[in-house]
Amino acid sequence: MEAFSHLLEQLYFTSGNKAKAQLIADYIANAPDPDRGWAIAAMAGTLRFDFFKRNTVKKLISEHTDPALFAMSYDYVGEVSETVAHLWPYSEPSDSLPTLTEVVETFTSISKQKVSATLAHYLTIMTPAQRWALLKLGTRGLRIGVSARSIKQILADYGNKDIKEVETLWHAVTPPYVDMLGWLEGKVDKPDIKNAVTFHPVMLSHPIEDSDIKAFTKNTWQIENKYDGIRVQLVVKSNNPINDKAQNGSGADGDKPQKALFSRTGDDISHSFPDLLESISGNMVLDGELLVIHNAEPGFHPSEESTAQSAASQRTSSDKSGKQASSATQPNVDTFNALQQRLNKKKPSKALQSSAPVGLIVYDALVLNGEDLTEKTLKARRHYLEEWFSKTNNSRLFLSETLNATSPETLRQLHTQVCQNRAVEGLMIKRLDSHYVPGRPKGQWFKWKRDPLVVDAVMMYAQRGHGKRSSFYSDYTFGVWEDSQLLPIGKAYSGFTDEELKKLDNWVRRNAVGRFGPVREVKKELVLEVAFDAVHPSSRHKSGVALRFPRIHRIRWDKPASEADTLANVKALIEG
Amino acid sequence: MHPSTWLKTDDTGLYCEPGEFYIDPMNEVATALVTHGHADHARAGHHSVFASSETLAIMKTRYGEDMAIHQHAVAMGEAVNFNDVRATFYPAGHILGSTQILIEYAGYRVVVSGDYKRRHDPTCPPFKVVPCDVLITEATFGLPVFKHPPIEHEIEKLLHSLRVFPERCHLVGAYALGKCQRVILALREAGYAKPIYLHGAQLKLCDLYKQLGIDLGELIPVSEVADKKTLAGEIIIAPPSALADRWSRSLPNVRPVVASGWMQIRARAKQKNAELPLIISDHCDWPELLQTIEEVNPKEVWVTHGREDALMYQAEKMGYKARALSLVGYDEDEQGGD
């Protein structure tokens, strides 16, 4: 427990991903099994359950300290675990703290009634820093600024392996990862994952260049909409249609899950989308875009049998099969903003599942009916997919529509045309003869995103960055005019070169007029051309808008602030 | 007459009406009694100042020889009369020259603690328990979450970091008066004999400490180091504000360290961009505050700058009458020698 607490302490105060990775790698190299595996699970968020509930902690501290003093302390500290760590009134330092593994095993095995007393005992023998680590671990609230993806990268580097191997393995192995760590260290064979539901590293695209567009020729490429959702991978290994488990509730947590939904980086996001997973059975790995699709709910269709048309024929089916069919087969796609309320929800409510139903627009298959298709061409995979869709009856799955262009000119026209639809963020252009190769192979797949939106905004506040940028004012809050007043609309900290950063930093220092803690207010004189992907209404900001992925496009040293955009200009860009 | 009728606060500070003097006033006044040299307690421009000789020396170092027209050095334990009021200075253990002030009038004894701590500090005599009717205490760290670890423990963290990161320049943010010298002395006590490098803002006061006979070992201004690369693996002490400033850009591979009582709270440490927070304070922590109230055992406790609510609550629980005394101008962060 000492080493784990020490690691967390260092990670907490270290900025910079490289330095953090170094600390974690050192820990893995020096900590024994199975401690290190549990630590990895805690950091990567793969522990299966809370050791104790937040309420248990609150109740315990209220029984042992003055509630009024606790409340005042908490009010100041702002975080329960740290307040408890400092406030716990008993201290009997012990030379032999339990190991991380002992802590995990104790809380896994003891009865509910004993949890509180055990926690109290641990708190008493630990230092405040160790208590904090224990409380964060036990409530699965570690926030150390290291993503699960980074953990996998660190493990891959540690074992001198390709991250794709670790990603493939990741969901088939369980904490404390003794087999995987042994394999990384070359001591044992790679764990056998043949029958496991696991992530398959995905194939990625390159941004298209003008030369690629010029070289475009017909009958070589598959063209599709680039949807504005999130890329996911649906993995299913069951041949029983909707079984008992699914009916027992969305959170059914069997020992070996038979299906899972992964993010592009291999995070298991199944728990957020029970509505999608419940509906699916078979043996497949599908690659597609997750979106809020308003006609994806089975209940949407009065009679499923007649409406669940084969999506393979969706382009031609609507005229044949009447009103219901056309509404069922064309996905009624909502914006990314709509999807956002479904992301990172551990347990989406029934109400949310029905107001924002999710569906999948499928654009590729790695495995279908148990057959591996990755060695086949895209053209062949597409053929299998169409065939499969023609026999499948699922209201949440839609086959990605293919589009047509015959020359560079018609491709450009097509791009302009699709970008008018705000739910689409451009085109995907894939070689018909491309195999499914994990990573980002050259010349196979291209993405052609819509041009970003831009506004001219005025810098209002600046804040120092972190790590290497800690002496530079590199985070800028900017605003636009409403009458004679500037209202902040967002914050950006990227998009400029190092040279430009130096100039901006210098400008901030010379033009600072006020200070609010770490934030400097600046003269409202510098215009920043801000690029962003979308703008949404937002009640969080006084301006009533929020930008998606804002970055500094250009610095308009020349432009007077009075000529910057107005809030009305920005609101006019709101989609839908 | 109860002290609340003759000892009052206004926009300038704490005023004793019958004695016609202020204690630690924020603005220029006719007569000022100054508990210690931190900038939020000692200001320039008063007509007459009464303070310990060390505090006067600190004020002259900071504000110039003419920082006040009349400068009266008061010895510890010596009483000075102002009309019918008697004021006596006692050690407070906060920094070099720091005092508490006992005010006696109309049969009442009031102790103004100034800032104080109860731990060993080689630069000043320890806090003296002075019995009184009213104790006016600070509450900078007036919450039970604040328990300052022993300074040796924190210094060992710094030395350990130097061993682990011998290629990194350890830039320690520490307030120029008191904290800086305390860190240096604690490093020396721990056996650290190498030169310690200083930011320009720390120089004058370190020189003063040396003049007053406190041995700080070899100190070198960073400005005199021609090749800044040679500072890798060395300790530099600078004002906390310099840590993330342009000044630090010329230093090699900086590891930001902050020495302050606030470092106990993670978010505060993170806010200051401290990679290595050292919990070193010249104030009382919570147990010391309670210990002091118990030992002084006054009839009433008046609580000034800091987190008053919790300390008042606790003092009342301990059976004392407690009230908040709101004083202007004490800056909790940058200036107060935290």
Of A73, A470, A517, nearest to B144 by CB-CB distance is A73
Mean pLDDT of B98-106: 97
CA distance A501 to chain B (A): 13
**Which DSSP category does B262 fall into?**
G
Q: How far is CA A268 from CA A170, A246, A442, A511, A573, in A?
A: 10, 18, 28, 47, 34
Distance between CA A500 and CA A484 in Å, rounded? 29
Distance CA A232, CA A262 (A): 6
* Residue A57 placed within a domain: no
Which of A13, A66, A142 to mutate to test binding with chain B, by most B CBs within 10 Å of its CB?
A13
Q: Which of A62, A69, A79 to mutate to test the interface with B (most CBs of B within 10 A)?
A: A69
CA distance A200 to A439: 11
Chain B contact set for A86 (CB, 8 A): 144-147, 264
**So what's the pLDDT on residue B138?**
93
| Same-domain pairing of A496 and A560 | yes
Q: For the packed helices A17-30 and A35-44, what is the interaxial angle rounded to 10 degrees?
A: 150
Whether residue A508 is contained in a domain is answered as yes
CATH classification of the domain holding A539: 2.40.50.140
A14, A68, A128: residue with CB nearest B313? A68
Decide if A19 is inside a domain: no
CB A512 within 8 A of CB A521: yes
User: Which of A13, A14, A83 lies nearest to residue B145, judging by beta carbons?
Assistant: A83
Residue A286: domain span: 206-448
Pair (A380, A519) in one structural domain: no
What is the structure's pLDDT at B164?
A: 86
Interface test with chain B among A62, A143, A471, A504, by most B beta carbons within 10 Å: A471
Size of interface A-B (CB pairs under 8 A): 64
ipTM: 0.90
Task: Please give the C-alpha separations between residue B283 and each of A77, B57, B143, B260, in angstroms, as whole numbers.
Answer: 19, 22, 13, 10
Q: Which residues of A touch B256 (CB under 8 A)?
A: 470
Q: Are residues A384 and A467 in the same domain?
A: no
Selecting from A69, A82, A464 the residue whose C-beta is nearest the C-beta of B314 gives: A69
**Does B147 score more than 60 pLDDT?**
yes
Which domain-ending residue is among A397, A426, A448?
A: A448
The predicted pLDDT at position A60 comes to: 96
Residues A355 and A254 in one domain: yes
Is the pLDDT assigned to residue B317 strictly greater than 60?
A: yes
Rg (CA), chain A: 27
Q: List, in order of start, the domains of chain B with CATH numbers.
A: 3-145+283-324 (3.60.15.10), 151-278 (3.40.50.12650)
Copy the structure tokens of residue A251. Answer: 């959170």
Q: What span, in angstroms and rounded, lies between the C-alpha atoms of B269 and B248? A: 18
Are both A369 and A438 inside the same structural domain? yes
- What the block records as the tokens of B175 is 């307030």
Nearest CB among B249, B266, B313 relative to A69 is that of: B313
Residue A232, SS3 per DSSP = strand
> Residue A35, CB half-sphere, CA atoms under 13 Å: how many?
16
A298 belongs to a structural domain = yes
- The maximal CA–CA distance of chain A, rounded, in angstroms, is 79
Q: Locate A76 and state its tokens.
A: 């100041």
pLDDT in single tens digits along all 576 residues of chain A? 999 999 999 899 887 888 899 999 999 999 999 999 999 999 998 888 889 999 999 999 999 999 999 999 998 888 899 999 999 999 998 888 999 999 999 999 999 999 999 999 999 999 999 999 999 999 988 878 888 889 999 999 999 999 999 998 998 899 999 999 999 999 999 998 877 888 999 999 999 999 999 999 999 999 999 998 999 999 998 754 444 444 333 333 444 568 999 998 888 899 999 999 988 888 999 999 999 999 887 755 433 333 333 333 333 333 333 333 333 468 899 888 889 889 888 889 999 999 999 999 999 999 999 999 999 999 999 999 999 999 988 899 999 999 999 999 999 999 999 988 777 889 999 999 999 998 899 999 999 998 889 999 999 999 988 766 777 899 999 999 999 999 999 999 999 988 899 999 999 988 989 888 778 999 999 999 999 988 988 887 789 999 988 999 999 998 999 999 999 999 998 875
Which CATH number goes with the domain that contains A240? 3.30.470.30
Task: Name the residue facing B266 among A12, A470, A471 (closest C-beta).
Answer: A12
The reply to whether A463 and A506 lie within a common domain is yes
Whether omega before A34 lies within 30 degrees of 0, making that bond cis, reads: yes
How far is A84 from A73, CA to CA, in rounded Å?
9
Within-domain flag for A74: no
How far is the alpha carbon of A347 from chain B, nearest alpha carbon, in Å?
Answer: 29
Give the chain A residue whose CA is nearest to the CA of B334. Answer: A517
d(CA A99, CA A187): 24
> Which pLDDT belongs to residue A88?
96
pTM above 0.80, yes or no: no
Burial readout A169-204 (b: 16 or more C-beta within 10 A, e: otherwise): bbbbbebbbbbbbbbbeeeeeeeeeeebbbbbbbbe
Q: A405 and A414 in contact (C-beta within 8 Å)?
A: yes
- Do A462 and A397 share a structural domain? no
- Report the chain B residue with the minimal C-alpha distance to residue A23: B164
Residue A220: how many CA atoms within 13 Å on its side-chain side?
A: 14
* A348 and A493 part of one domain: no
* Chain A residues near residue B275 by CB distance under 8 angstroms: 13-15
- Please give the share of chain B, as a percent, with pLDDT higher than 90: 86
Tokens of A128: 């405040």
In a domain, A233, yes or no: yes
Q: Is the dihedral of CA A297, A302, A303, A308 positive or negative?
A: negative
- Bin A338: left if φ > 0, else alpha if -120 < ψ < 50, else beta: alpha
Last residue of a domain, one of A413, A433, A448: A448
- A306 occurs within a structural domain: yes
- Mean model confidence pLDDT for chain B: 93
Q: Are residues A353 and A394 in the same domain?
A: yes
Q: Looking at the structure, do residues A439 and A536 belong to the same domain, yes or no? A: no
CB atoms near residue A386 (< 10 Å): 15
Round to whole Å and give the CA distance between B229 and A44. Answer: 38
Query: With an 8 Å Cβ cutoff, are A470 and B273 in contact?
Result: yes
B184-239 per-position pLDDT tens digit: 999 999 999 999 999 999 999 999 999 999 999 999 999 999 999 999 999 999 99
- Domain co-membership, A362 together with A463: no
The pLDDT of residue A256 is: 54
Contacting residues of B for A65, CB less than 8 Å apart: 144
Cβ within 8 Å of A, B 37-76? none
In a domain, A189, yes or no: no
Asked if A13 and B276 come within 8 Å (Cβ–Cβ), the reply is: yes
pLDDT of residue B330: 52
Domain boundary among A399, A432, A448: A448
Structural contact between residues A229 and A339, judged by C-beta atoms closer than 8 angstroms: yes
Domain count, chain A: 2
The percent of chain B in helix, strand and coil, each rounded to the nearest 5, is 30, 25, 45
Give the C-alpha separation, A446 to A528, whole Å: 30
**Does A332 or B89 have the greater pLDDT score?**
B89
Do residues A499 and A414 both lie within one domain? no
